[in-house]
Amino acid sequence: MHITLKATGTNAGMISHLLAKNPHNTYDRTEKGARVRMVYTVFTEEEAEIVIQASPDSIDLVKNSPDSYDITQYINDREFVTSSLFCTYIRGALGTALNGKPKEDYAAWVTHPFALELSFGPVASDLPDAVVEGLFAPLGYQVTIERGKADYAFQLKNRSTVRYVTLSGQQTVQYALRQLLLLIPVLDNYKHYYISEEELDKLKRYGEGWLSAHPLRELIIRRTLHFTNLIEQFEQLEAAEATTEKQAIQERNNSHEQVQQQEQSLEAEKQQPAVRLNELRYQAIMDVIRKLPRRQKIVDFGSGEGKLSARLARMKGIEEIWAVEPSAYAQVRAIERFAKLERHADAISPIPMTGSLFYYDEQLRGKDVMILCEVIEHVDEHRLNRVMYTIVTEYQPGVLIVTTPNREYNEVYRMDQQELRHSDHRFEWSRSEFRERCEQWIEEAPYSLALEGIGEEVEGFGQPTQMAVFTRRKELKEA
């Protein structure tokens, strides 16, 4: 993972003072477990080129991490691609340039636009080439996108998400580096750390002077902050700064009553904190199960870390719960969670089980309830019909409960029309698509269907989660 910064023309060598790095010395430091090196490959008064490289320790990346239980640590690309990890590694080395505070003799060069060429990669991005270009071209850069040299017998190279990007244009060193450190994570769309309110300050500082007028501003903000509440906070912050002090005073005088109402509303929200959507799903599923005449034996397929199974373990009338999960890492977390149930006299102990929807297991046949909570969207769409056929014809649960995202609601989250809520989702369906598929699955199976939504309803978009409850007809169960 690297960035190459090249300046040409009169006084190009001044970038060494803006970076605060001696062109005759190699910068070699360890930052957050990675080796960061900066070296000038060319240095004259009319041409200067510096390569910034980071080499993370592959063992350090997973040391003391819960992911060490899972095979995905061996197949992820974080060690190689230019991403938020890379930006974190090099930020300390570029502090002087990013802050625009070189030695006083060179302060005037902070605002000097150089003829720059910046290249970086490899970067893994789900964005099309046209969108990648659209992120940088409005900033005055000519954009070149290349894919690595590789020979395949099929067209993998053309579809590869991994690319190398080169930018050419007139720009100050400070703006160029700030733009890269903000936009590289936007391309990669993954951050290795928790996205908190500190990200608002970073977005404001690095985006100062160019972000507000950018045509893809909303995309940049959304992929930087990810969460709707942070996006709204950032927009409110921008709106507040755009208002003059006089206008702000006038607004406060005119809307004193409204402010009081908002404060009362905020106080009420503090007293009654909002329930997370995941919790609402669990509550909806449990409400369905609680009303069933038969709920003794339950299968939680794709049980993950066992959160739903642990809740069901304390429900009256349930005698056994099979928590089926293919991920070893998730199972370890589930076992730890189930062990804590021993302190509750009214709880049963769920049975952790390694399994998959793609492999039939006779032990799970004929249970009272089978649950697929936020599971089907992780299955390739063309394989799903076979999975559901196996469930309704072989497993034959008394009741089958399926939840999945409602794609229409993504617009409420300010997502692009084709964007998925999670990188591992293979698809997301609208309400009509989900209904149509549910009806297809039971065309020749003895089940009735009931559909409902979960979460806050917005007119025209429905609710964020949709739930299907399939009930096996009584006469056939008795037969």
Edge to edge, what strands does the sheet with 34-43 contain? 27-31, 34-43, 47-56, 2-8, 114-124, 162-171, 142-146
Q: Residues 330-374: pLDDT tens digits? A: 888 899 999 999 888 889 999 999 999 999 999 999 999 999 999
Contact yes or no for 387/357 (Cβ under 8 A): yes
The model's confidence at residue 239, banded by pLDDT at 50, 70 and 90, is: low
The model's confidence at residue 269, banded by pLDDT at 50, 70 and 90, is: very low
Judge if 291 and 358 occupy the same domain. Answer: yes
Per DSSP, the three-state class of 74 is helix
For residues 6 and 295, what is the distance between their CA atoms, to the nearest angstrom? Answer: 68
Q: Which carries the bigger pLDDT value, residue 123 or residue 464?
A: 464
Per-residue pLDDT, averaged over 192-202, amounts to: 73
DSSP structure string for 220-281? HHHHHH-SHHHHHHHHHHHHHHHS-HHHHHHHHHHTHHHHHHHHHHHHHHHHSPPPPHHHHH
Judge if 143 and 169 occupy the same domain. Answer: yes
pLDDT at 259: 44
Judge if 32 and 173 occupy the same domain. Answer: yes
Q: Residues 386-434: pLDDT tens digits? A: 999 999 999 999 999 999 999 999 888 877 767 788 878 889 999 999 9
Nearest residue to 119 via CA among 167, 63, 61: 167
Q: Which carries the bigger pLDDT value, residue 298 or residue 74?
A: 298
For residues 5 and 116, what is the distance between their CA atoms, to the nearest angstrom? Answer: 7
Judge if 162 and 286 occupy the same domain. Answer: no
- Which of 177-191, 267-281, 407-421 shows the lowest per-residue confidence on average (mean pLDDT)? 267-281
Long-range contacts of 290-293 (CB under 8 A, 24+ apart): 290/315, 292/368, 292/369, 292/398, 292/399
- What is the domain-level CATH number for residue 48? 3.30.1610.20
Q: Residues 139-161: pLDDT tens digits? A: 999 999 888 665 555 554 455 67
Judge if 452 and 344 occupy the same domain. Answer: yes
Q: Which token pair is 432?
A: 């009509």
Residue 448's φ and ψ, nearest 5 degrees, are: -100, 160
- With a cut of 50, say whether residue 248 has pLDDT above it: no
Percent of the chain with pLDDT over 70: 80
**Looking at the domain assignment, is residue 157 inside a domain?**
yes
Q: Write out the residue range of the structural domain in which residue 261 sits.
A: 243-274
Edge to edge, what strands does the sheet with 297-301 contain? 351-353, 320-324, 297-301, 369-373, 399-405, 465-472, 447-454
Omega before 122 within 30 of 0, i.e. cis: yes
Q: How many domains does the chain have?
A: 3
- With a cut of 50, say whether residue 270 has pLDDT above it: no
- With a cut of 50, say whether residue 320 has pLDDT above it: yes
- Which of 145-149, 152-156, 215-219, 455-459 shows the lowest per-residue confidence on average (mean pLDDT)? 152-156
Q: Which residues lie below 8 Å from residue 80, measured CB to CB, with a gap of 6+? A: 1, 122
Judge if 353 and 416 occupy the same domain. Answer: yes
Contact yes or no for 366/320 (Cβ under 8 A): no
pTM score above 0.85? no
